[in-house]
Amino acid sequence: MYNSKIVGLGSYVPDNVVTNEDLSKIMDTNDEWIQERTGIKERRWVKEHSGDTTTTMGVKAAKVAIERAGIDKDDIDFIVFATLSPDMYFPGPGVQVQHQLGLKTVGALDVRNQCSGFIYGLSVADQFIKTGMYKTVLVIGSELHSRGLDKTTRGRAVSVIFGDGAGAAVLTRTEDTAKGVLSTHLHSEGEHAEELVVKAPGMATRWVTDILKDNDVNDESYFPYMNGQFVFKNAVVRFSEVIMEGLLKNNLKKEDIDMLIPHQANLRISQFVQKKFGLNDGQVFNNIQRYGNTTAASIPIALTEAWEQGKIKEGDTVVLAAFGSGFTWGSAIIKW
């Protein structure tokens, strides 16, 4: 049996920086209110006519990851693309990446697990490689939130949080079972699905023809809804559980963590988990202050930046953890 290891990382964020002060000009909010509740100072939002989409941002991140991996793009055997904001209702962006990268007819899988999407995608890639089905897999997390947010005072509690961007990782086979992705751990709890949700467009209660006929400009089901306090309370519990699950699986202790990269949902959640595990600031990487919550893209963007800054070194034990809509949550334990 093989292990999978990350051999290339890349990220891309739009040039357009949107500060908290910028948001205060279009909704009733302010920098102090946003930072106190989320830790966010600014985020990136795609500009109209820039050409950036969920797919194209993913492709840009992928090209960087492929170059850094030192492989030819035709070495990629499979694509996993995680997002909640695809360019089209269907088909998903995985096949668009295959086309835009000019790859041969490799398989492409789309993952819809929101904030946990990259962890789920990494787990799929890891299993494909460990079983010998594929040798090299491209995993992408990309989101374009800004076009689907309610940018009025009505939607401020959610809209100030989210940003656009993409991250990518190239995983390949290694016969060193002590290195690479040691284990991944995935969970869900669908009874809380409506605590963090976008209900429309959906086929559960309305036909597309009815939606078009009604065309109600006050229909809030198209915008994200989040029960913030409920999500926070569940997140801090599930983060801790799934990190410990991964450590115990690999006979590791809290003290063995060299770098924890949590999903960038809220700086307060990250700080809570950091304190619970007794980690110092150098052992936890956060960049939500600059990018906001980029959902499936947040972990690969943060992982890329941590590696670029030399904060992840060979032999380090790296822990990735995420929690989000679904509810879904997961972790990955990696020996770098």
Q: Please, where are the H alpha helices in 258-336?
A: 267-277, 288-291, 298-308
Please give the structure tokens belonging to residue 209.
């023809």
Selection from 323, 318, 320, 321 nearest residue 335 by Cα = 318
Crossing angle of helices 267-277/228-249, nearest 10°? 40
CB neighbours of 333 closer than 8 A, spacing ≥ 6?
181, 182, 183, 184, 246, 247, 249, 250, 252, 317, 318, 319
Distance of CA 323 to the CA centre of its chain: 10
Residues catalogued as catalytic: 115, 263, 293
**Residue 225 tokens, joined:** 């809804």
